[in-house]
Structure 1
Amino acid sequence: MTNILKFKFKYNRLTLVIAFLIIFTLASLLTIDKALADQESYESVYVSQSFGTTVTIGQTFGVTIVMRNNSEGNWVRSEEYKLGSQNPQDNVTWRDGRVALPAAVIGPGETATFRFDATAPSSPGRYNFQWRMLREHVTWFGDSTPNVEINVRECDPAEWYGVPQCSACTSNGTFQAECSDWGSGGPSWTECRNHCEGVPSATCSLTASPSSVSYNNSSTLSWSSTNASSCSASGDWSGSKGTSGSESTNNLTSNSSYTLNCSGEGGSGSCNTSVSVGA
């Protein structure tokens, strides 16, 4: 009788152990299946984006980004589905790095239109602007928006486009932030400011003596400048030059032209001369 009881006890304990292992294995498989199903359900597709690509330092501007829910489940605001900053991930260059869903629920196949404000950095330069969907503390998922380099400038080019001087100063001479589009070849922000505040631009004078030489002979170039901190040569000579000086040309075998470009705090100026070559 005792042996029978011992056998039953061992049999029941073994059965419990086997049952526990079966239940544990099934639970693990279900957990893995659920995790894989959840992972597969996180899908988003980039649709469109709209915002300015040239802004002023500190400027606040509007952004619209549209993403489509391409998963089988809902995006739910209370479950912390959001739009998050990328390149680099979680950066706060433009704002806090997160944008909440525009609706409580975005269903499968529906689009989420994120409209939000971004603020440009306080230093000029080119900065990455890119976003992607995420579920906070769970995973990033789906398409990233195409990366765009936004050009952050020191002044608003739309206020003064291609005008070769400041368009306005106050009565007491204080500079107002209006300046040209740098890409159009207009003055820089500093030159614009100095113009308004009465700081003169650089000027220069360049002469050749003699201005006409016989074949295979040289001439002497002489120059001077005012309000200049640096000068450089172009044309049939090159390199950095002092703000004043003289130098001999090479022996010339054809007509030659020389240009001097000088710059200073108030702006830049240029001058040129030429030497003709006879027989």
Structure 2
Amino acid sequence: MTKPATGFGGTEDTVLDDMPSLPPPSVPAAGTVVDDSDIDPNEEADNGPTDFVYPDSKDQSSSTPLTPSFETIIPNGAIINGFFVLDNLIIHNGTFYIVTHNRSVFPALKEDLVWRPHVSGQVEREPNEEAGFLFSLPRAIYGDWRFGDPREEVQLDHRDPIRTVKHYYHWWGEIILGGWHVYSRIGLDPDGTFHPERLRLSDRFLLPVVVDGKWRDEARVVGPFMHAAFPQAAIEERDQWLDLIRLNRTIVFQRALVTNRRAAHQQ
């Protein structure tokens, strides 16, 4: 049964079942990546993607229609190894979906994914149920998925181990400033003219593996500086990330900045 369509960002959910549907990814079973017990709050080893940042929707409606022309793009070539910006990035059950007719436009994104360590200490780079990128044609992304309000935002996704994130120089010198350097390309015209007004500050930082405030450095410098630089940004941890997965809703990030310090160093 099709619910009334209220437009993208409407007050009611919109189910578009008149188009070919893509089966939603299965919810990971208990004891897998979404089980709280698999995260050791005292763990300091390389245990996967530590931060995922996205700003608040502010309950704003979007002018982006849910049509077959909807695609994920890299705006203004804002991409280098380990840092890339994506517009219209979809997340469902902890999996990111890149919607495109031309997959060759995108780099090999699996090298920008870091998740659970092997016994040997080597970190997996293949997508899995909670930390993966999948590709879909625009016409296949709709169907029976329920879309919530869009997130009109800048998203900063750090995929680095906890012991790296809680170090002041790595967090600010590499992750934040490195990501902002790539993000600022959006404000650059072909003739070299720069438009800083095109750059929007993040509204929310979501850290999907961090618990108990362990993203803060021992000197307690990172936290105050984050609030000074992003005064309106909420900084959320793993419990909020799990809430998004358990909500079983599809979210469209209108702009996402994804970073991976490890990938930037290895390539």
State whether TM-score is above 0.5: no
Q: What TM-score results when the alignment is normalised by the length of structure 2?
A: 0.19
Based on CA coordinates, which of the two structures has the bigger radius of gyration?
A: 1
More helix by share: 2
Q: What TM-score results when the alignment is normalised by the length of structure 1?
A: 0.18
More strand by share: 1
